[in-house]
A and B are shown apart, each in its own frame.
Chain A
Amino acid sequence: AQSVTQLDSQVPVFEEAPVELRCNYSSSVSVYLFWYVQYPNQGLQLLLKYLSGSTLVKGINGFEAEFNKSQTSFHLRKPSVHISDTAEYFCAVSERGRDDKIIFGKGTRLHILP
């Protein structure tokens, strides 16, 4: 069965600095991969997704993620963060051709320091 591990529960970073939020998954078959963002008191919003093709995926708000099959990772990156990026970020995986249930990681809270 698939599983998702977000290695950091909280990540503090200074404004305008780069950030990487780590995500590793476990699955015996091909997967779809997603990153979602949750701003305070809101639902989740899709940042980006990997279905197939290029392993570098660009999303909204300047975020990008790279699918690494050999390392079973899908880390999220942004070259320069802004105070408005303060939120919780969730990595998620869905196995192709299975029951299509999507599994979420436990989330990484991004703190932007002034």
Chain B
Amino acid sequence: KAGVTQTPRYLIKTRGQQVTLSCSPISGHRSVSWYQQTPGQGLQFLFEYFSETQRNKGNFPGRFSGRQFSNSRSEMNVSTLELGDSALYLCASSSGQGFGNTIYFGEGSWLTVV
């Protein structure tokens, strides 16, 4: 069974640009969540989607948005990039709502903003 797949793995963007990251969950998983990982802040929760609906949202500005499609694939978008957005963005999927279920992580997308 294929794991969580994230694309692209690495990308470099310029301040002010926007970026879209993609995540394909494990087959059959309906919940997808996104995290930002930086050396200073650790892992921070961005948002969670279940069956195309956003269930939870972390404390990030409106420049960070996401969506989930009917096939459970998810995208997150960051507009008007800032240097501080440089981070590893991790996607995770699980079979059900909530986190009593095990969540499985992808290998992440490394974003560098210059």
Contact = CB atoms under 8 A, between A and B. Distances in A.
Instruction: Answer yes or no: do A and B interact.
Output: yes
Interface string B47-88: 010000001101000000000000000000000000000000
A45 B56 contact: no
Interface of B: 4, 33, 35, 41-43, 45, 48, 55-56, 58, 90, 92, 97-100, 102-108
Contacts, number: 57
Contacts of B103: 46, 102
Given A42-B108, A46-B103, A100-B56, 18 more contacts: A41-B107, A43-B106, A43-B108, A44-B90, A46-B104, A94-B99, A96-B100, A99-B56, A100-B55, A100-B99, A101-B48, A101-B58, A102-B45, A102-B99, A104-B45, A105-B42, A106-B42, A107-B43
B8 to A, nearest CB: 15
A103 B59 CA distance: 12
Nearest to A94: B99
A3 B19 CA distance: 30
- Which interface residue of B35, B45, B97, B99 has the most chain A CB atoms within 10 A? B99
Contacts of B43: 44, 90, 104, 107
A45 B105 contact: yes
Contacts of A106: 41-42
- Which interface residue of A34, A96, A100 has the most chain B CB atoms within 10 A? A100
Interface range, A side: 20 to 34
Nearest to B96: A100
25 contacts: A32-B99, A32-B100, A34-B99, A43-B4, A43-B90, A43-B106, A43-B108, A44-B90, A44-B92, A45-B105, A46-B103, A46-B104, A90-B42, A90-B43, A94-B98, A96-B100, A99-B55, A99-B56, A100-B98, A101-B56, A102-B45, A102-B99, A103-B45, A104-B42, A107-B42
